[in-house]
């Protein structure tokens, strides 16, 4: 009988083990998300789940070197990782168990981050009636922000199948021990007492208890759960007492505005060990101070994430400013500036009777270009610091901005056509030389020149912008100021050139005729912007934009009637009504219509008529190189006039088409008409923050060759020949 009992017990064990193995064998492989910067997957702590027990399932993020993701409170910028679960019936997931983060201080911005690898365990309650031998499928939609010099939002669906076993499961062989250690090291209260008080713009946090008694305060740091309670970028002071520690923290917005928080919650870290604290208001705890004077505790930034990580070659401030100024000068010769050349020409012709006023308008134009360059740069820097994946030209990636600019260009054309007048007319300028309207128009011309033209980068300008955007804000703004000076300097210099005015014909009717002729480039610019708008939001939105243009034209007509008749009340009332309707149409139009899907060949931009294209992706580049094919990558946008000129002149020629055929090169198009974080990252890798950008990859897998912003057929053919080894 004993022998029989042993055999039966062995059979039962084998049967249970067989069910477990069978369940594991039948489970589908885990679904892993792989991006250029993060590999994400779900990993259970143990090989199986026990009915009625708790299974910890960790989201593992393997992060590329130099990049980071974010803690539950990302700090002054960033976004925490999120997990949205899809679980079997009666299964329930708890909150993420967040390991203590590291600090990433970038100028005035403090972020709390994870680098290299992080495990984010989540407790999952297994129902008591879970059937041993079955397999549970656990899925989750995960999203995170990964940052280096730029920030890229990424997401995906991860999944893992977990067998149900009646026996005690073992640790998962790859990461089970690491998950176990992560849970053991996760910040816990451990019976600590904590209080805080606020005085003189500082928060005094005292923590006492056995775990923190005698702690090394040299690496002490408080990570708040609420990012508003302290000024996170400023240093913290720590001091040690007989029973614990006290930290002096710079008070944040939460204490200086409105009702102060009732609790101060977060994590106190001492480097290797961290504790969760939940402090209540009150006098400092006895024994938290007194043994040693306070010390500054802010540790260095995350390893590998300092200011020099991933930065373009350090050219120095003077070199960057010089390149920016030269790039701004060259930008005047780029096709991007063509839409506003007519406004510049009209302004020069307008000043024949008053060189003194010409100088004033030249300075006003310079003020418009410099101010707009610096303003756009400040918005760009602030957006990137806030975790937005944006680059130079971001304003024309907004359908709202594009539609408004189209109407502004259309309105400028109506003004030049004489439908209505803003500022000075072409004749009689001498009598009105002090008019402020002309100066306002000059400023507006400078603003339009930057908003419409500057998103396309020029030679020397591209590396300067790429360098500036990884510098402290003050240095970056200095570089953009130099760009504005370069763009505005030629026109301003002309306004100070009396010899120019002596060479032109005497003032007369020809000036009014020239002004009307120069209206047509403005209409062309408006039509181009309407085309960009249609690519961004779809042709179904065009009737709204056309209606807004019609209302704007009617408003301009009414305004002109009021100017000519001297009876302003009724016509101007009509004009105001029409303008309000136009603004309403633009305000609701772009958001009411979904964006049209991108073309499979072009991604939304118009392809060259002679060359077939494929959508760009880093994976596609790697695949083609592995297959031994040269690759030509065109980073472009519909709103980049230089890109379109290159496409229709250099890339549409027969010699370039023959070179593609002869070398077997593949043409990949990265269309940035709408925002695309992957394209933003690829530009940043080349030290660029705008388009156009042209790269040619050799078949051998070497680094790409960077082509100039203004292409010629010869440059493209030579690069393709070199990439294929047929030079």
pLDDT in tens, 557-592: 887 887 777 666 556 666 666 666 666 555 555 443
Pair (178, 98) in one structural domain: yes
What is the distance of C-alpha 585 from the center of its chain? 28
Pair (141, 199) in one structural domain: no
Is 137's pLDDT higher than 60?
yes
Q: How far apart are CA 312 and CA 685, in angstroms?
A: 8
Q: Which of 333, 373, 374, 415 is nearest to 641 (CA)?
A: 333
| Lowest-confidence pick of 68-72, 267-271, 448-452, 701-705 | 448-452
The answer to whether position 132 is within a domain reads yes
The answer to whether position 557 is within a domain reads no
The answer to whether position 689 is within a domain reads yes
Q: Among 512, 530, 565, give the residue marking a domain's end.
A: 512
Please tell me which residue, 162 or 482, carries the higher pLDDT value.
162
The pLDDT value recorded for residue 652 is 87
Pair (360, 440) in one structural domain: yes
> What's the whole-number mean pLDDT along residues 508-520?
70
- Are 380 and 392 in contact, with CB atoms under 8 Å apart? yes
Q: How far apart are CA 639 and CA 535, in angstroms?
A: 10
> What's the whole-number mean pLDDT along residues 430-442?
49
Continuous segment of H or E residues that includes residue 368: helix 355-385
Pair (125, 219) in one structural domain: no
The pLDDT value recorded for residue 135 is 94
Pair (289, 343) in one structural domain: no
Pair (107, 243) in one structural domain: no
The pLDDT value recorded for residue 49 is 94
Q: Among 185, 214, 236, give the residue marking a domain's end.
A: 185
The answer to whether position 81 is within a domain reads yes
The answer to whether position 692 is within a domain reads yes
Please tell me which residue, 245 or 107, carries the higher pLDDT value.
245
> What's the whole-number mean pLDDT along residues 409-421?
80
The answer to whether position 302 is within a domain reads no
Pair (325, 443) in one structural domain: yes
| Banded model confidence at residue 6, pLDDT cuts 50, 70, 90 | very low
Is 231's pLDDT higher than 70?
yes
Q: How far apart are the first and last CA of the chain?
A: 88
| Banded model confidence at residue 334, pLDDT cuts 50, 70, 90 | low
> What's the whole-number mean pLDDT along residues 304-311?
36
Per cent of the chain over pLDDT 90 is 26
Pair (349, 495) in one structural domain: yes
The answer to whether position 119 is within a domain reads yes
Please name the residue ranges forming H helices in 650-712: 654-663, 677-685
| Lowest-confidence pick of 34-43, 359-368, 504-513, 685-694 | 504-513
Pair (257, 353) in one structural domain: no
Q: How far apart are CA 564 and CA 438, in angstroms?
A: 19
The answer to whether position 432 is within a domain reads yes
Q: Which of 376, 217, 205, 218 is nearest to 277 (CA)?
A: 205
Pair (166, 234) in one structural domain: no
Q: Which of 607, 616, 614 is nearest to 676 (CA)?
A: 616
Is 85's pLDDT higher than 70?
yes
Per cent of the chain over pLDDT 70 is 71
Pair (327, 286) in one structural domain: no
> What's the whole-number mean pLDDT along residues 55-60?
96
CATH code for the domain of 694:
3.40.30.10
The pLDDT value recorded for residue 486 is 84
The residue written with tokens 């100017």 in the block is 563
Q: Among 512, 537, 552, give the residue marking a domain's end.
A: 512
> What's the whole-number mean pLDDT along residues 420-444?
50
| Tokens matching residue 289 | 């101070």
CB atoms within 10 A of CB 44: 25
Is 114's pLDDT higher than 60?
yes
pLDDT tens across 591-619, in order? 434 443 334 333 344 344 458 899 998 88
State the residue range of the domain holding 219.
193-296
Q: Which of 168, 88, 170, 165 is nearest to 132 (CA)?
A: 165
How many domains, the chain?
4
The pLDDT value recorded for residue 425 is 38
Pair (152, 9) in one structural domain: yes
Range of 161-165, 652-656, 673-677 with top mean pLDDT? 161-165
CATH code for the domain of 123:
2.60.40.1250
């Amino acid at each position: 009988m004993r022998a029989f009992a042993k055999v039966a017990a062995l059979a039962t064990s084998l049967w249970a083990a067989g069910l477990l193995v069978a369940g594991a064998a039948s489970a589908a492989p885990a679904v892993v998300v792989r991006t250029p910067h993060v590999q994400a997957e779900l990993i259970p702590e143990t090989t199986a789940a026990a009915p009625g027990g708790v299974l910890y399932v960790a989201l593992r993020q393997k992060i590329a070197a130099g990049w980071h993701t974010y803690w539950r409170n990302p700090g002054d910028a960033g976004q925490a990782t999120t997990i949205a679960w899809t679980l079997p019936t009666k299964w329930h997931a708890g909150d993420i168990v967040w390991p203590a983060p590291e600090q990433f201080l970038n100028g005035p911005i403090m972020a709390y981050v994870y680098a290299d690898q992080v495990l984010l365990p989540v407790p999952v309650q297994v129902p008591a009636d879970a059937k041993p031998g079955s397999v549970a499928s656990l899925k989750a939609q995960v999203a995170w922000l990964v940052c280096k010099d730029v920030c890229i939002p990424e997401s995906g669906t991860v999944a893992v199948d977990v067998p149900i076993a009646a026996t005690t499961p073992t640790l998962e062989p790859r990461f089970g021990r690491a998950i176990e250690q992560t849970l053991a090291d996760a910040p816990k209260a451990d019976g600590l007492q904590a209080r805080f008080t606020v005085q003189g713009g500082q928060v005094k946090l005292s923590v006492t208890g056995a775990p923190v008694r005698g702690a090394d305060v040299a690496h002490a740091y408080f990570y708040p759960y609420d990012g508003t309670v302290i000024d996170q970028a400023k240093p913290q002071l720590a001091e040690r007492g007989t029973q614990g520690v006290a930290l002096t923290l710079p008070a944040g917005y939460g204490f200086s505005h409105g009702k102060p928080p009732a609790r101060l919650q977060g994590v106190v870290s001492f480097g290797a060990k961290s504790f969760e604290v939940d402090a209540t208001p009150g006098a400092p705890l006895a024994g938290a101070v007194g043994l040693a004077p306070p010390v500054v505790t802010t540790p260095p930034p995350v390893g590998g994430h300092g200011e020099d990580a991933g930065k373009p070659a350090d050219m120095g401030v003077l070199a960057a400013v010089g390149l920016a100024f030269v790039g701004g000068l060259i930008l005047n010769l780029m096709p991007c500036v063509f839409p506003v050349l007519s406004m510049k020409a009209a302004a020069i012709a307008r000043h024949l009777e008053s060189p003194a006023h010409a100088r004033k308008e030249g300075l006003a134009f310079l003020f418009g270009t410099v101010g707009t360059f610096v303003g756009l740069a400040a918005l760009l820097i602030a957006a990137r610091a806030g975790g937005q994946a944006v680059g130079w030209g971001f304003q024309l990636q907004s359908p709202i901005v594009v539609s408004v600019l189209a109407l502004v260009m259309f309105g400028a054309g109506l003004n030049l056509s004489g439908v209505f007048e803003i500022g000075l007319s072409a004749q009689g300028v001498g009598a009105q030389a002090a008019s402020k309207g002309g100066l306002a128009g000059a400023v507006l011309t400078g603003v339009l020149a930057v908003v419409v033209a500057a998103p396309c980068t020029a030679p020397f300008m591209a590396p300067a912008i790429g360098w500036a955007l990884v510098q402290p804000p003050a240095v970056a703004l200095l570089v953009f100021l130099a760009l504005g000076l370069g763009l505005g300097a030629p026109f301003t210099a002309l306004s100070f050139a009396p010899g120019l005015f002596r060479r032109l014909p005497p003032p007369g009717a020809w000036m009014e005729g020239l002004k009307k002729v120069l209206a047509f480039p403005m209409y062309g610019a408006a039509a181009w912007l309407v085309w960009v708008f249609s690519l961004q939001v779809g042709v179904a939105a065009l009737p709204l934009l056309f209606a807004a243009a019609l209302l704007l034209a009617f408003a301009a007509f009414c305004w002109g009637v009021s100017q000519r008749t001297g009876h302003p009340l009724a016509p101007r009332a009509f004009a105001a009504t029409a303008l309000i309707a136009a603004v309403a149409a633009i305000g609701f139009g772009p958001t009411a219509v979904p964006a049209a899907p991108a073309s499979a060949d072009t991604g939304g931009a118009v392809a060259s008529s002679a060359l077939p294209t494929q959508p760009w992706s880093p994976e596609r580049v790697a695949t083609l190189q592995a297959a031994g094919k040269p690759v030509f990558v065109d980073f472009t946008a519909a709103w980049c006039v230089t890109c379109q000129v290159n496409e229709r002149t250099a890339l549409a020629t027969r010699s370039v088409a023959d070179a593609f055929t002869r070398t077997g090169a593949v043409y990949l198009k990265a269309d940035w008409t709408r925002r695309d974080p992957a394209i933003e990252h690829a530009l940043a890798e080349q030290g660029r923050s705008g388009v156009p950008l042209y790269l040619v990859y050799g078949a051998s897998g070497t680094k790409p060759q960077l082509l100039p912003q203004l292409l010629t057929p010869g440059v493209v053919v030579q690069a393709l020949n070199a990439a294929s080894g047929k030079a």
